Amino acid sequence: MISKEGFDFSFDEKACEKCGGKCCTGESGNIFVSKEELKILRQYLGLDEQEFALKFLKKVGFKMSFKEVKFEDGYACIFFDQVKRNCKIYEYRPSQCRTFPFWKYYKNHKEELEKECIGICYL
């Protein structure tokens, strides 16, 4: 069970095994990734910068996000394994994914979070 200062809920990582990846699928969104994170991920996948960008990235303003693909009635992150229903790059996923569900936004949108994530427990 993980908890974080400033949040009145904790998060059970084990829930991800039975969830099916709700936070990686659904409505369209952005999965922002930093230059440093990209460098490490490129090394892991053994792809050069151009090849990686063409395959996996989209530009959103001044930031880079992972692309999405059509999935069920909505979308999935391009790194979501649609058969195993988990993250193909789990060890190398960006900070946005690592810090979920402890996002400032959810402090004031708890109902939304409860619908999204079955791993939430109140303290």
- The gap from C-alpha 46 to its chain's centroid, in whole angstroms, comes to 21
Work out whether 80 is an interface residue with ligand SF4 (CB under 6 A): yes
Q: Which of 9, 24, 64, 68 binds ligand SF4 (CB under 6 A)?
A: 24
Stretch in the footprint of ligand SF4 (CB under 6 A) among 12-20, 36-44, 49-57, 67-75: 12-20
Distance CA 24, CA 86 (A): 8
Which has the closest alpha carbon to 63: 35, 89, 29? 35
Minimum CB distance to ligand SF4, residue 95 (Å): 10
Work out whether 93 is an interface residue with ligand SF4 (CB under 6 A): yes
Instruction: Please classify residue 27 by burial: count the beta carbons closer than 10 Å to its beta carbon, then call 0-12 exposed, 13-18 middle and 19+ buried.
Output: exposed
Stretch in the footprint of ligand SF4 (CB under 6 A) among 37-45, 48-56, 75-83, 102-110: 75-83
